[in-house]
Structure 1
Amino acid sequence: MTAPPNRIRPSWVLIGIRVGLVVIAVTLFTVAAPVTSVRYGVPVPLSMLVSAVLSVSIGLAPLFPRTSSVAHLAGLAALGLLTSPGTVGPWPVPVTGIIGLSVLLVVLGVRSTWRLTTTVWAASAVLVLLLVAVTPGRWGQADVWATSFVVTAGDTLILAVAAIVIGQRRSIREELAAARRDAELEQARRRSVEDRARIARELHDVVAHSMSVVHMQAESAPYRVADLAPEARAEFAAIAATSRTALREMRQLLGALRGDADAERAPQPRLADLPALVQATRSAGIPVELRLDGHDDTDDTDDTVDRLTQLTVYRVVQEALGNVARHAPGAATVVTVGRRGSALTVEVANAAPPAGTVLAAPPDDGGFGLAGMRERVAALGGTIDHGPDPDGGFRVVVGLTDRSPTAARGPAADGGTR
């Protein structure tokens, strides 16, 4: 979306303001230094030094308001003391000093707080009176210093008030913009919660009811079908167990989408559940072998690997075996889980499918399995590599770093070499 042609972008406005301040500071220095030397008889080096302090403090006021204010007031005090031996006016604040102080108060009022602006104005008014008080030789010229005091205090007060009004208006506008952004974020969060609840309802309607029917049919099949072979009974039992697992995980997913607190505490699949997953896949007709590199079983690993890493490993193996079932049914598959220190490696490799197998994905295949793996692994800072093998198979290799405290201690802390 482009900005309207008649509207200047804020970045260019800021650049213009800063360039303008630099121009004002340079102009003030080039005018104040010679005027101070010629009119008031101040030595050139001193007049240039004081004029430089007054000019530079104006240019740096947007970045360092407090420091610049102190430096500017100190420069005004020095200027008043240096010009006090003469008899000319205006004094104790020359015209160039009034201009510089006015510019400083305008910058402070617009870019800083009203407290700092009023403090600087009050300090400048008191400073004029102090300069008169410490210079007895000027007491007799009441018309000179009184005029200087009235003009300095009056003009700068008007400009300071106007700048404060402009600055407060800008501040209120920024606060309103921030409040509007907060309201938009809150509305976005509310829409997200509503979308999650809607997705949960749709998932329940589409998947949960169908899985319940599958579970009921698998449980009742041995009683409805006469003379059922033992192998068929075992197959129906495996279907029922798989559907129960799917229903349980679906309830956890629905609870997470609804924001239920109990869903966060529900048990998630772990490494100890890998043998059951492999057995269920093997029952579906896919020869799968589970190898635990460096471990006798997964129970010992469960105590040392953090739960999020275990869940990621389980989901990666689950999705990889699902891909084998869809794209290479009947292919021999090896699942290898290995650990070296804090590094956890998972590999799922399948050979080429048997001859005569139709290598076609089912019509409901969404093609997001590998993408989901990459997202899960990337969320834990791991690595994933997948691709076909020369012999016609496919391989998925995942590397993860265990984040549990026991992993940081290394193998020796567990009482031996794994």
Structure 2
Amino acid sequence: MLLAVRIGLVAVAVSLFAVAAPVTAVFYGVPVPLAMLVSAVLALSVGLAPLVPRTAAVAHLAGLAALGLLTAPSTVGTWPVPVTEIIGLSVLLVVLGVRTTWRLTATVWAAAAVIVLALVAVTPDRWAPAEVWATSFVVTAGNTLVLAAAAIVIGQRRSIREELTAARRDAELEQARRRTVEERSRIARELHDVVAHSMSVVHMQAESAPYRVTDLPPAARAEFAAIAETSRTALREMRQLLGTLRGDAGAERAPQPHLADLPALVQATRAAGIPVELRLGVDVGTDDHSTDDGVDRLTQLTVYRVVQEALGNVARHAPGASTVVTVGRHGSALRVEVTNHAPSAGTVPAAPPDDGGFGLAGMRERVTALGGTIDHGPDPDGGFHVDVHLPTHPAGPTRPTTATRGPAADGGTR
């Protein structure tokens, strides 16, 4: 629709020039070069009015004044505004009224009326036949006033419709944001009521077990202490997650796990009865958590979460299986490998089949969000491996690129 309007406006401008130039030269006796120049300015300003309305209006008014001065010596035809210019000025005011503000349209109309009167005032030779210039002035002013007023009404209606559409869109966005906040609050409540409560019970039972059970062996006391420490860590991270969901800025600025926390994570897994070996090929200083060995903070958090989930999968699906965690540089990337062998006979029973199911999917989402790759699947010896490559300084979210192998690639079993 807009393209058709612009094409039509260009056609009108070309037609005005094609008619106005010969009429001005032949009928009013204006030299051909001047007639073509003034007609070109008037026609071109009409065609450019939608793009540069103010510039086009100024150029058109200047052309109107020049046309009046050039046609003043002629005693034939309408003066000071020829018929072709009445049409051109009318088209210009219609375009301005529809596409711009009413103030600009009214200003251009008033300026055109003043220019017409000024042309009469500076040309005493044309005062005598008053009916000529008076008729031209009345027709020009009256015709353009009606058309400008109609165009302003149409333009204001369009503007109001656009404002209503924008207001409706803003209201829908606000409602969507409100629904998002409410959903996050609901999830936070559910997590607090279900998960946090259950972890608190586990923590209290593990802490009180050495006092409730008599003659508890030292190994069992150490086991309960490890359970209590793990539950405290889970509760601390759960509180931080709940604060983030509720929009607590302090929770978002709270310290996140990093590479230096990997030894403690592995130690807690060993305490759960899983032999884990940690091989670190990067420095994990404790003074600056965000720049351990030049690795970005978000990458460090992703490495920690990948290792945490992989070890959790070992505990659920292959308890007692020997596991090796390797973290090191691979070119310009950071490589994380977690490999476990098949569990030996007589170990603790594995988790029920319906336990979990979203761990590998979560790992894929974390890794691909940083532009990394992940490869995971069963090994020929009955074990399982997770192999992740991450950029040390991710540029931002990218399209998922996941390389998988083996039947467990869909994350449905681990």
Give TM-score, length-normalised by structure 1: 0.84
User: Which residue does 2:304 correspond to in 1?
Assistant: 314
The CA deviation at 1:88 is: 1.0
Distance 1:399-1:147 versus aligned 2 partners, 3 A rule: same
C-alpha change, 1:359 and 1:27, in structure 2 (3 Å) is farther
- 1:304 maps to 291
Superposed, 1:149-298 pairs within 5 Å as 149-295=137-283, 297-298=284-285
Aligned pair count?
389
2:313 aligns with one of 310, 323, 331: 323
Q: Distance in 2 between matches of 1:326 and 1:42?
A: 97
Shift of 1:313: 2.6
Alignment of 1:125-144 (within 5 A): 125-144=113-132
* Residues 377, 301 of structure 1: alpha-carbon distance in 2 compared, 3 angstrom cutoff: farther
Change (3 A) 1:44 1:155: same
SS across alignment from 1:266? coil
Deviations 1:287-314 (A, max 9, x none): 222222142x442562624544433332
Partner Cα separation in structure 2 for residue 274 and residue 246 of structure 1: 15
- What's 1:384 paired with? 373
Partners in 2 of 1:103 and 1:181 — Cα distance?
34
Deviates most, 119-128 or 314-323: 314-323
Alpha-carbon distance, 1:95 to partner: 0.6
Give the secondary structure class of the aligned counterpart of 1:87. Answer: coil
- Residue pairs, 1:342-357, within 5 angstroms: 345-354=334-343
Are the counterparts in 1 of residues 282 and 328 from structure 2 also a CA contact under 8 Å?
yes
**263-272 vs 245-254, which deviates more?**
263-272
The whole-number CA distance in structure 1 between the counterparts of 2:74 and 2:275 is 107
**Could you tell me which of 87, 103, 116 is aligned with 2:75?**
87
SS of the residue aligned with 1:398? strand
Match of 2:93 in 1: 105
Partner residue of 1:334? 324
Change in Cα spacing, 1:209 to 1:358, as seen in structure 2 (3 Å) is closer
The separation in 2 between residues aligned to 1:278 and 1:317, in whole angstroms, is: 9
1:400 alignment partner in structure 2: 391
Quick one: distance in 2 between partners of 1:358 and 1:98? 97
Residues 34-71 of structure 1 deviation map (CA, whole Å, 9 limit, x = unaligned): 32233212334433332222222212111111111122
Distance 2:164 2:336 in 1: 55
Give deviations 1:257-303, integer Å, cap 9, x for gaps: 222344234333233221110111122233222222142x4425626
Q: What amino acid is aligned across from residue 281 of structure 1 in structure 2?
A: T
Contact 2:260/2:285 (CA < 8 Å) preserved in 1? yes
Q: Identify the residue that residue 409 of structure 2 maps to in structure 1.
A: none
Instruction: Provide the secondary structure at the position in 1 that maps to 2:341.
Output: coil
| 1:315–1:38 Cα change, 3 Å | same
The range that moved more, 117-126 or 329-338, is 329-338
Matched-pair identity in %: 76
CA 377–231 in structure 1, closer or farther in 2 if over 3 Å, else same: same
Offset, 1:360: 8.0
What aligned pairs does 1:27-46 form with structure 2 within 5 A after superposition? Answer: 27-46=15-34
By how many angstroms is 1:358 displaced? Answer: 11
SS in 2 for 1:395: strand
* 1: CA distance, partners of 2:210 / 2:81: 106
Query: What SS does the aligned partner of 1:63 have?
Result: coil
The Cα of 1:384 is off from its aligned counterpart by 2.5
**Matches of 1:218 and 1:387, distance apart in 2:** 34
TM-score, normalised to structure 2, is 0.84
Give CA-to-partner distance per residue, 1:313-356, whole Å, 9 cap, x none. Answer: 32222122223333444443332333699x56141230432466
Equivalent residue letter for 1:372: G
Cα drift, residue 196 of structure 1? 1.3
- CA shift, 1:242, in A, is 0.8
In structure 2, give the amino acid aligned to 1:397: V
Equivalent position SS for 1:70: helix
Secondary structure in 2 matching 1:85: coil
Q: CA deviation at 1:99?
A: 0.7
Query: Considering only aligned residues, what root-mean-square deviation do their CA atoms show, in Å?
Result: 2.8
